[in-house]
Chains A and B, each alone.
Chain A
Amino acid sequence: MPSELPLRVELHRISKHFGSGPTRVDALVDIDLDVRAGEIVGLLGPSGSGKSTLLNVVGCITEPSAGWMRLDGEPVYDGGWLRRDLRRLRLEKIGFIFQFHNLLPFLDSTENVVEAMELFGTPARLARQRTAALLDYLDVGHRRHAMPGQLSGGEAQRVAIARALANSPRIILADEPTAALDSQRAAVVMDLLRRVATDHEAAILVVTHDEKIFGHFDRLVRLRDGRIEAEAPYAADSTADNATTSRLSPS
C-alpha cells in the first residue's frame, strides 16, 4: 500500500478495560494501528481476543480507557472524546456493514439507503438519484423496491453495503460481513469491498473468521488477549514468510 495515501484510522496506545479491581478485564492493551485510504485490513483472533471491542472503539461506539485516536485526520479521542456528537461523526465518516445486514425491515432497499442519506442532510430527491446509482453500482439495482425479507443473503448484504456507502464514508467497518454467505457470494462481497476501497478511497476494517476471504485483505492483524499478536501482509504460501496465513489463521 503506497505510504503517500492518507491515513484514515490512527490508533496510538489505545486501551480499553471493563470493570475494576479483581473483576477488571483488559479488552484492549496498547493498540497501535494505522489504516490508509484504499486499504482493507482483516482483524483476526479467537473469541474474546478484543477484535469486536477494537471495531467498536474505531466506530466510536465504545469509549477507550486510554490512548489517542484520529479518524480521517481528525483527532477524536485523547484520554476522552474530543467530539460530543459521536453519532454525527459516525454519519459523516464511518459506514457499518454487519453480519446479518441489519437492514430496517420496514423499508425497501431504496428507502434503507435513502434514509441514511437523509439523516446526513441530503435532500430527498438527490438522495433517491444517488441511491439508484449506488444500487446499480453494487449490481442490485433490479431489487431497489424489494423489502429486506424478499432479498437473498447476498442481495441484502449488497444493499447493506450501499447503505454503508450512502454518505461516502472514509472508513468502513465490517463485522463478519461474509459469515452468512456461501463462498461464491462471500467472494462477490469482498470484490465489492475492494472496488469501494479503491473507488472511494476508503479504509476498510473487517472482523472475520472466514479463511476463504483472507486473500482479499491487504493486511491481516491478529489479536490475542487484547493485544496485537501479529500484523503482516497476506501471503498465500504459509511456509514462505513468518507473517503468513498459518501464523495469522483463526484459532
Chain B
Amino acid sequence: MNLALRDVRHNSLRFALTALGLGLLFGVVISMTGIYEGALDDALRLPRAASPDLWVVQPRTHGPFAEPSRIPRDTRDLVRRIPGVAATGAVTFQTVQTVADGKPLRMFIQGYEPGRPGGPQRLAAGADITASHFQVVADVSSGLTLGQQVPLGPLRQPYTVVGLTSSMVTSSGDPVAWVTLLDAQSLQFALPPALERREQAAGRPPPQTGDINAVLVRLAPGVAAATVAAEIERWKHLAAVSQVEQESFLTEFVIDKMQRQLGMFMAILITVSAVILALIIYTLTMDKLRAIATLKLIGAPDRVIVGLILQQAMVLGVAAFLFGLGLIVAVKDHFPRRVMLEPRDVGVVFAVVLVVCLLASVLGVRTALKVDAIKALAG
C-alpha cells in the first residue's frame, strides 16, 4: 500500500494548495527557460534570415549586431569585384521609436537595397518594397497593417506599410522593419529643419549620410569563404565575418548576459522552492510523528518511513511541476516576449525539481527516523 498517496488523499486540499504555490514558482522557472530560448531564437532570426556567406564589417568590431560598425558605402562595389563573389548588398541597422494608432511603437529598422541580399524573407502578407522611398515592410508583431501609414525619423515622414513578415523580432523583442537603404540613411542622419539651419549658420559641414553598417556577401557555388574573407581583409579598413562567427557574437555578447541573468533568477527561484518544499515536508512530517511512531511500533522498517516522506515530496514536486508547466503552456502566447518551450529544457527543469524534492525531504526524513517508537505509547 502506498502510504504517501493515502496521506496525500487525506490532506488533499493542503497538498493542492501547496502544489499550486510551488507550481507558480516552477512555472516561472520553466517560463524563464522559454524566454531564454525565445530570445536566442529571436536574436539569431535576423542574421539567419539574411544568411549571407560573409558579413563585411568595420575591423576590430563585433558588428553590426553586437556593437556598432561603420564602413563606406562603396564597400559593396569593392567586394563585389572579388572573384568568387556572386552578390553583395549594403545594409544598415537602427532602432526607431514612433507612435502608431496612438500607442508607442519601437522597431528595429534594417535598410537594404531591393534586389540585393539583405531584404525581408518569406512575406506573410503584401509585397516587397517597390518604390525608392517611404515604403516599409514590417513584422506583424508591430501591430501595423497593410496600407497603414506610420511616421518615422526626426522629420516624422509617413511610411506606407506594403508588406508583413511574421516572427521577425530582435533579441529585445522589438519587431523588425525594412526600408530602402537611402531611407534608412536619411532616418539616421537627417536633421530637423531648425537644427539643420543652425548647423548651416554655424558653418558646420552636413553629416556624412553615405556610410553603411555592413555588406552581406553571397559567394558563387564551390567558393571557399575563408579565401574570399582573406582577400577582403587585405583592405585594412574592412573585416570579414562568417555566418557562424556572427551567430557566436550574438550568443556570446548579446544573449550571454541575459542567460546569466535568467540563470541567476532561476537559481534563486529553485532555492526558494527547495526551502518552501523542505518546510512543507518537515511540517507534514511533524504532523505525522505519532503515526510514524505507531508504524515503527507495529514493525514498519525504516524504508517504509523514508518512502512515505520521500514519495510525498516527489508527489508534491511532480504535481507542482505539472501545474506550472500546464500554466505556462496555457499563457505563453500572451507573454510580451516569445516563450519557446524546448523539451530538453523542460526535461532539465523536471530533473532539477526531482533533485530539489530529494534534498527538501532530507530534513523530514531525518526527523522521521529519529522518532522513537515509544512515542506511540505516550498519552
Answer whether A and B are interacting partners. Answer: yes
- B300's nearest neighbour on chain A, judged by CB, is A119
Q: A111 near B1 (CB under 8 angstroms)?
A: yes
Chain A interface main SS type = helix
- Complex: A147 Cα to B9 Cα, angstroms: 12
A61 to chain B, nearest CB (A): 5
- Complex: A87 Cα to B7 Cα, angstroms: 23
Q: B377 near A87 (CB under 8 angstroms)?
A: no
Interface membership of B6, Cβ < 8 A: yes
Q: A61 near B379 (CB under 8 angstroms)?
A: no
Interface membership of B272, Cβ < 8 A: no
Q: A175 near B1 (CB under 8 angstroms)?
A: no
Q: B377 near A115 (CB under 8 angstroms)?
A: no
Interface membership of A140, Cβ < 8 A: no
Chain B proximity mask over A104-126: 1 for CB below 8 Å, otherwise 0: 11110001001110111000100
Chain A proximity mask over B289-322: 1 for CB below 8 Å, otherwise 0: 0110011111111001000000000000000000
**Count of CB-CB pairs between chains A and B under 8 Å:** 72
**In the complex, what residues of A have CB within 8 A of residue B286's CB?**
none
- Complex: A91 Cα to B290 Cα, angstroms: 18
Interface membership of B355, Cβ < 8 A: no
Q: A104 near B1 (CB under 8 angstroms)?
A: no
**In the complex, what residues of B have CB within 8 A of residue A119's CB?**
298-301, 304
Q: B298 near A91 (CB under 8 angstroms)?
A: yes
Q: A91 near B6 (CB under 8 angstroms)?
A: no
Segment touching B, from A12-20, A65-73, A93-101, A227-235: A93-101
Q: A98 near B377 (CB under 8 angstroms)?
A: yes
**In the complex, what residues of A have CB within 8 A of residue B297's CB?**
59, 61, 90, 96
B7 to chain A, nearest CB (A): 4
Interface membership of B374, Cβ < 8 A: yes
**In the complex, what residues of B have CB within 8 A of residue A52's CB?**
377
Which of B3, B294, B299, B374 is A91 in contact with, Cβ under 8 Å? B299
Q: A104 near B377 (CB under 8 angstroms)?
A: no
Interface membership of B344, Cβ < 8 A: no
A149 to chain B, nearest CB (A): 10
- Complex: A105 Cα to B10 Cα, angstroms: 8
Chain A 14-30 residues near chain B, CB threshold 8 A: none
Interface membership of A145, Cβ < 8 A: no
The verdict on A106 contacting B298 (CB below 8 Å), with A52-B377, A118-B1 known, is: no
- Complex: A158 Cα to B294 Cα, angstroms: 16
Which of B6, B11, B374 is A111 in contact with, Cβ under 8 Å? B6
**In the complex, what residues of A have CB within 8 A of residue B376's CB?**
96, 98, 102
Q: B11 near A90 (CB under 8 angstroms)?
A: no
A126 to chain B, nearest CB (A): 13
Q: B304 near A104 (CB under 8 angstroms)?
A: no
Interface membership of B373, Cβ < 8 A: yes
B39 to chain A, nearest CB (A): 46
Chain A proximity mask over B360-379: 1 for CB below 8 Å, otherwise 0: 00000000000001101101
- A116's nearest neighbour on chain B, judged by CB, is B298
Q: B6 near A90 (CB under 8 angstroms)?
A: no
Interface membership of A163, Cβ < 8 A: yes
Q: A62 near B299 (CB under 8 angstroms)?
A: no
- A149's nearest neighbour on chain B, judged by CB, is B10
The verdict on A115 contacting B3 (CB below 8 Å), with A87-B301, A104-B294, A106-B9 known, is: yes
A102 to chain B, nearest CB (A): 5
The verdict on A56 contacting B10 (CB below 8 Å), with A90-B298, A119-B298 known, is: no
Interface membership of A88, Cβ < 8 A: yes
The verdict on A163 contacting B9 (CB below 8 Å), with A61-B373, A98-B376, A119-B304 known, is: no
In the A-B complex, list the 3 residue pairs whose CB atoms are closest, starting with the nearest. Answer: A91-B299, A106-B10, A106-B7
Q: Which A residues fall within an 8 A CB radius of B?
A: 52, 55-56, 59, 61-62, 87-92, 96, 98-100, 102, 104-107, 111, 114-116, 118-120, 124, 147, 163, 175-176
